[in-house]
Structure 1
Amino acid sequence: MTAPGFTIDTPRLEDAPAIARVHVESWRDAYAHLLEDHEHWFGAPALERRTAQWTRFLTPGDPHQGRSTAKVGRSPEGQVVGFATGGPSRDADAGPPLELFALYTDRAWYGTGLGRALVEAVLEGASASVWVAAENPRARRFYEKLGFAPDGAEKVEEHLGNLLDIRMVR
């Protein structure tokens, strides 16, 4: 899939460090004001954990591969500048059968259509749910533009310092 300025494709094992970088830097942009212990979440330890996570996920034979879809956005030079993952909903009470698990892009790519393209590449236009930090108005507005709306479900992410998430569905 191609759009002006970027390409969407399936990630390869050698993309793991670049995806991890996008993951950690995007978390910093989205959650630095909400999470304590910045070194743990956004520093070298986080980059190491995310690189290991993505390496496992992209290694042939990983059990998560058959249950989820991942796509990356690449700059014209081929650099990974965003990613999205999704698959069957993890919530027993969710109406839509699919869930968008993650969507993150480099800040320089905000507003370019990359995020929308990644979501649609993973969900293929289907109904889905997504969990969003209640105190992340930018993400909430983005998902609203894609047809998502809060359905009233909430959960507290204790491992993230009691961060409140809301579920949005379309």
Structure 2
Amino acid sequence: MTTSGPTFTIDTPSLEDVPALARIHVRGWEIAYAHLISGDEWFRQEAIDRRIEHWTHWLTPGTRAADEGVYRVGRDAEGVVIGLAASWPPRDAQPVRPRELSVLYLDENWLGTGVARALTEDILEGGPASVWVAEDNPRARRFYEKLGFTPDGATQVEEQLANIRDLRMVR
């Protein structure tokens, strides 16, 4: 018996996608970090407005972010944005990989469908990369492990995010 999952495509986002990108990004933060941080500034309209500014900047041609970054979106069969990914040059003082998976979030209804894996592999082209992940985010850590990432011992504390401890994973 053959089963098929939901239909989706991966492509490059446009400025028209910014409101959807901001909404998914903020909701993704809420799913991943609500047990670690709280407050309207992280998960409500204020956060969405801030993400609209970020995504507009990141996708505006001619900006450093647009020139250096790689951006992908997942879309459902109707073309609705269901996930997003971004990769920038590593932010580490001494990078250990040529690329960093910097952002990866999905509409919660698409978790476990293969969209995140497809976004990750597309944006990194199957190559080596690093990713920083909250130490207290076991779901994300397991996901990255399935894609061949392993912790390399580096950690950092996100002081602007209620002192969330991140660890670096590499492949």
TM-score (norm 2): 0.94
Give the paired residue count: 167
Q: Does residue 32 of the first structure (1) align with residue 34 of the second (2)?
A: yes
In the aligned structure 1, how far is the partner of 2:95 from the partner of 2:153?
11
User: Corresponding residue for 1:14?
Assistant: 16
SS of match in other structure, 1:72: strand
Q: Which moved more, 1:55-64 or 1:154-163?
A: 55-64
* 1:12-41 residue CA offsets vs partner (Å, 9 max, x unmatched): 01000000000011111110010022x110
SS of match in other structure, 1:65: helix
User: Corresponding residue for 1:125?
Assistant: 126
- How far residue 94 of structure 1 moved from its aligned partner, in angstroms, is 3.1
Runs of 5+ consecutive residues of structure 1 not aligned to the other structure: none
SS of match in other structure, 2:25: helix
SS of match in other structure, 2:73: strand
* 1:24-73 residue CA offsets vs partner (Å, 9 max, x unmatched): 11111110010022x11001100110011111222222221111100000
User: Corresponding residue for 1:164?
Assistant: 165
TM-score (norm 1): 0.95
SS of match in other structure, 2:77: coil
In the aligned structure 2, how far is the partner of 1:56 from the partner of 1:96?
25
SS of match in other structure, 1:46: helix
In the aligned structure 2, how far is the partner of 1:125 from the partner of 1:144?
14
User: Corresponding residue for 2:92?
Assistant: 91
In the aligned structure 1, how far is the partner of 2:154 from the partner of 2:19?
34
User: Corresponding residue for 1:56?
Assistant: 57
SS of match in other structure, 1:131: strand
Runs of 5+ consecutive residues of structure 2 not aligned to the other structure: none
- How far residue 92 of structure 1 moved from its aligned partner, in angstroms, is 2.8
User: Corresponding residue for 1:105?
Assistant: 106
RMSD: 1.2
Runs of 4+ in 1 over 4 A off after TM superposition: none
In the aligned structure 1, how far is the partner of 2:64 from the partner of 2:43?
27
In the aligned structure 2, how far is the partner of 1:20 from the partner of 1:66?
20
